[in-house]
Amino acid sequence: MTACVLHATSRTPAHPDSPQLHEGKFQNAVPTPPTGFLKTVRLAWNVLTNKPRDTVPAGAIPLQTLTRAELVAAPDRSLFRLGHSTVLLKLRGEFWLTDPVFSDRASPVQWAGPKRFHQPPISIADLPPIKGVLLSHNHYDHLDHAAILALADKTDYFLAPLGVGDTLIEWGVPADKVQQFDWWQAATVDGLRFVATPAQHFSGRGLFDANKSLWASWVIVDDDLRVFFSGDTGYFDGFKAIGERFGPFDVTLMETGAYDKQWPHVHMQPEQTLQAHLDLKGKWLMPVHNGTFDLAMHAWHEPFDRISALAAEKGVRLTTPSMGQRLDLQRPQAGDAWWLATQ
C-alpha cells in the first residue's frame, strides 16, 4: 500500500481561513498594484499588434523524443524537460510532473492563442504511471484542461494551491486524488516531502475569477536532495525566507521568460531570476518558462541569452537541457547553448 501523509487542507471551496484571502480574493504578501481592465486590454492589444518577428523561432527547436521504456530505465533523481514550465521528475522510482501543459496552444481555445514552438517530447498516453502532479497556479500556460483530464486516470495525486484543486474536482478529477495547500503547508508522499511556498503572482482564467485561487512555488525534498520550482513570480523577499528555511537547493527551476518592464511585480527579469536563485542558496540554476510559447514582446531566445551572460558574470552554475534531454539532479551538466542554432 502506498504510504502517504498529507498535511494540506481540505477546506471548503471558499477557503475562508487562509491568511492570504482578503475580501474574497487572494493577495500577495505585499499587495501588488492592480492591473486594471483598461491597462490589461492595452497590454493585450500591444502584444497582438506590435510583436517583433523574433518572438518565434526561425527554425525547429532541438527536441529529443522520449519513450516510456527510456523513462522507466532512467536512474532515480532524473529530470526531463518537456517544455515551458513542464518537467518530469523521477524520484524513488516514481514520476512527478510540474505544471503539465501538452496542448498545442496555451489558451482557452485551441484555434487561437499562443502556439507551441515544438511538440512535447512524449505524449501523455506514452508516459508511465504518474505518482503526482504539482501545480503552481491556474493560468492557461500552467493549467491545461485537456492534459489534466488525460492525466486523471494515470495519476495518484494532484497537489495544488488553494482553489486550484476545486477547479480540478469540477473538471472531474476524483476528489480523493486532490490535495490543496496554503503557503507553508506540506505533504509527505512515499518519503518525499513537498512544501507549497509563497510566490508573488496572480490568478484567473476568465473575466470574473481574478485571484479567486492561490498561486505558489514548491519545495521538493528527497533526503539530501532539494529542488525548488518557482512557478510564476515576481521578485520578492520571500525567496530569502524560503532559502533560510529549506536551502541550500541542489537545483532551482526558475521562471526566466515571458517578462516585460510593464509587469515587474509578477514576472521576473533575468537579473531578478539570478538574484532569487542566490537568495534560495541554489547550487545550479535551470531556467524554465521559456522556449515553448510566445507570451511576451522579447525575442524568444533572449531569456537564454541574458541568463547565460549573467550566470557567467556572477559565477553561477547554469544548466540548460534541451527539450527531452535528461538532467542528472545529483550531478547536473551545464548543457549546450542549443537555442543559438535556431536564431
Enumerate the domain spans of the chain: 64-342
C-alpha closest to that of 82 among 116, 121, 124:
121
Classify domain 64-342 at the CATH superfamily level: Ribonuclease Z/Hydroxyacylglutathione hydrolase-like (3.60.15.10)
Burial state string for 209-226 with b = 16 or more CB within 10 A and e = fewer than 16 = ebbbbbbbbbbbbbeebb
For 136-145, the pLDDT digits (tens) are 999 999 999 9
For 164-213, the pLDDT digits (tens) are 999 999 999 999 999 999 999 999 999 999 999 999 999 999 888 999 99
For 238-289, the pLDDT digits (tens) are 999 999 999 999 999 999 999 999 888 999 999 999 999 999 999 999 999 9
